[in-house]
Structure 1
Amino acid sequence: MSNISLIIEERPANIGNFMVGRLLPFREKRMVGPFAFIDHMGPAAMSDHENLDVPPHPHIGLSTLTFLFEGEIEHRDSLGTDVVIKPGQVNWMTSGSGIVHSERTPEYLRKSDKMLHGLQIWVALNKSLEEMEPEFFHVEETDIPYWEQDNVKIKLIAGEAFGKKSPVPVYSPLYFLEVKSTSRQKLNIGSSLFGESALYILEGGIESEGNLFEPRVILIANDAKLCEFTMLENTTVYIFGGEPFPEERFIYWNFVASDKELIEKAKQNWLEQKFKPVPGETDFVPLPNQNPYLKK
């Protein structure tokens, strides 16, 4: 019996003036462990008059993880954070009871040609932490655990696996791994994983149980402990997962919560502009007109 229970293909989505490939949520699989949302940004070649401009918008009930392969993004938030993220670094923003942030091309790149390519991920918070105080952490590439085994290169971007721990301050048992191989290699890493698990193919391809899978798909495993596959030459994959929550999570726009009342409260607070603003930003993104709750 196959260990792959679901194959999710990347779907185009618009996040303002920038198109992304949406991977989660999916109608048949809303979450993988605590991971609620994954967007693949780019690769996008941007000319000297094209820039990323995602105006200030709110979040509740989650942590966001930004990880870039190419390009730079300036993150500013209502805590007063102003930091540029570069490839290999991690931005980890925990919204808790509420945070507002913007994402833009840094000023020093706005009049030059540039590339932008990376992943943006939402990790839902434990029910007991959904209304915690917001936080922001920036982690340098050199602080992320990196090692080689079985002729592959592995980074532990967030969480715990293989007896190692990332400095990214996560709030539930999870893992987010980068695995790279320059040659054909068979991997059996299930003993280091737990909970629900999924694999995203960025480039190259993998073989599993006689099937070939190519880039821009997520493979959802039936059982993380059976995670065994063959990486083709010059392949990069991202493996993510962890322990699922006992409660359902509702998603409305940029809000994630186990209770719709928390979302309704956040909607009203945003309409009345009660969220703490981002210093130096004046743009305001209105609530969506429709009622885009994502349900199981």
Structure 2
Amino acid sequence: MSELSPETAIALQVDPVSHDLGAFDVRRAVPQPKCRMVGPFVFIDQFGPAQYDIGKGMDVRPHPHIGLSTVTYLMQGAIDHRDSLGSFATIRPGAVNLMTAGSGIVHSERSPQSERDAGGKIYGTQTWLALPDALEETAPAFESVAAGDLPVIEDTCAKARVIMGSLWGVTAPTTCHAATVNADIILGAGGAMPIDADADERALLLVEGEAEVDGEPLALFTLAVLRPGRAMVLRSGSGARVVLMGGEAMTRRHVWWNFVSSSRDRINQAKDDWRAGRFPKVPGDEEEFIPLPDVPKTVSYP
């Protein structure tokens, strides 16, 4: 992680922390001590590209969340989502799943049987968005937006799918609880895409190929937090895939395991509720669960 000079387009570069999940690695850029949030994004994971062995797949057992929305976006593969509201959805490339935890929700994420049978691929991002203060205890909700319902901007050697928010004159139908920008950008050889200055905070994550922003190279899988208030141009000489994330600046949040809140007391209450079995069950996935950890991998106390 390195801070750069005031003249640079990139204000901060954040090297991710990698977690080996067996079949694939998860790279976690946020939260880290010097980068706890980018706009409402309080957690940024990127995984793959990877391929499962035949018969293998993802099995994230039921676990709880409060005070956030999870955003799951795939470039390859498929994941079955189930939650305590009774929602079920299989997310596929180009679609987005938005799960708003609010006062509390439980969900599981598993590979469909068809992916296990074929030795399917997995490649994508999962991010968490902190909810505004007034909505931290909102009723939980889930929505799945199909790839065909997300706007796509195309130009010569450049294509971008808007996952959330308004960008380049179009608006995604995905619910935003706070001003949010999120897009999947694919650049061909010689392709370029403008990065507007409207959002309070913005970051770019290069997940494939090579690219630069205003002439400054992006490092693969490293989060590049951009200088605020400056319009920029993203370019690639040979082709790239880049995820844009950001939005309105928010007051810092406490993060402990899967819980996000402006109040440490609220997080402690969520811990007690999960230990005591007071969260609801996930219909169709009631038998297993992830126990509360003694020492979680994700902690960020401002």
- Category of TM-score, reference length = shorter chain: over 0.9
Q: 1:115 to 1:58 in 2, by over 3 A?
A: same
Is the contact between residue 9 and residue 216 of structure 2 (CA under 8 Å) also seen in structure 1?
Answer: no
Kindly state the Cα deviation for residue 186 of structure 1 after the two structures are TM-superposed. Answer: 4.3
Looking at structure 1, the residues matched to 37 and 291 of structure 2 have their Cα atoms a distance apart, in angstroms, of 26
Deviations 1:233-256 (A, max 9, x none): 2211111101111x2200000000
Name the residue aligned to 1:204. 209
Q: CA deviation at 1:232?
A: 2.4
Within-5 A mapping of 1:23-38 = 23-38=29-44
Picking from 250, 256, 259, the partner of 1:252 is 256
Matched residue, 2:141: 135
Aligned in 2, Cα 1:130/1:109: closer, same or farther, shift over 3 Å? same
Q: Which amino acid aligns with 1:101?
A: H
Q: CA deviation at 1:93?
A: 0.4
Q: Which moved more, 1:286-295 or 1:175-184?
A: 286-295
Query: Hey, what's the Cα distance between the residues in 1 that align with 2:195 and 2:64?
Result: 37
Look up the match of 1:114.
Answer: 120
Counterpart for residue 238 of structure 2: 233
- Residue 280 of structure 1 and its aligned partner are, at CA, apart by 2.4
Letter in 1 for 2:185: V
- 2:142 corresponds to which letter in structure 1? F
Runs (4 or more) in structure 1 with deviation over 4 Å come to 14-18
Of the candidates 59, 63, 87, which is equivalent to residue 57 of structure 1? 63
Q: CA deviation at 1:187?
A: 4.0
| Alpha-carbon distance in 2 for matches of 1:276, 1:15 | 26
TM score, norm. by length of structure 1: 0.93
Q: C-alpha distance in 2, partners of 1:25/1:16?
A: 22
Query: After the TM superposition, which residues 278-293 of structure 1 pair with which residues of structure 2 at under 5 Å, given as runs?
Result: 278-281=282-285, 282-290=287-295, 293=299
Cα-to-partner distance string for 1:84-120 (whole Å, 9 max, x where unaligned): 1111111110000000000001123323311111111
Aligned equivalents of 1:39 and 1:293: distance in 2? Answer: 14
Give me the whole-angstrom Cα distance separating, in 1, the residues matched to 2:42 and 2:181. Answer: 14
* 2:175 aligned with 1:169: yes
Letter in 2 for 1:6: L
Which residue is equivalent to 1:22? 28
- Once the two structures are superposed, residues 163-189 of structure 1 have per-residue CA deviations (whole angstroms, 9 ceiling, x without a partner) of 321111110011101221112234443
Distance apart, 1:23 and its partner CA: 1.6
Distance 2:20 2:133 in 1: 29
Match runs of 1:140-155 below 5 Å:
140-149=146-155, 151-155=157-161
Structure 2: stretches of 5+ with no match in the other structure: 1-6
Q: TM-score, normalised by structure 2?
A: 0.92
Q: Does 1:123 align with 2:129?
A: yes
Equivalence for 2:3:
none
Deviation at 1:197, TM superposition (A): 0.5
CA distance in 2, matches of 1:128, 1:10: 31
Choose the corresponding residue for 2:220, options 199, 215, 218: 215
Aligned residues: 294
User: Is the 8 Å Cα contact of residues 252 and 262 (structure 2) preserved in structure 1?
Assistant: yes
- Per-residue CA distance 1:238-281 (angstroms, 9 max, x = gap): 11101111x22000000000111111111111011100100122
Deviation at residue 209 of structure 1 after TM alignment: 5.2
Seen in structure 2, the aligned counterparts of structure 1 residues 145 and 61 have a Cα distance that, compared at 3 Å, is same
Once residues 22 and 66 of structure 2 are traced to their aligned partners in structure 1, the CA distance between those partners, rounded to angstroms, is 20
Please list every run of 5 or more consecutive structure 1 residues that lacks an aligned counterpart in the other structure. Answer: none
Counterpart residue type for residue 293 of structure 2: P
Cα pair 1:221 1:227 within 8 Å, conserved = no
What SS class does the counterpart of residue 269 from structure 2 fall into?
helix
**How far off its partner does 1:8 sit?**
1.4
Task: Within 5 Å, give how 1:72-111 maps onto structure 2.
Answer: 72-111=78-117
Residue in 1 aligned with 2:72? 66
Contact map agreement 1:187 1:231 (CA 8 A) in 2: no
Query: In the aligned structure 1, how far is the partner of 2:30 from the partner of 2:290?
Result: 23
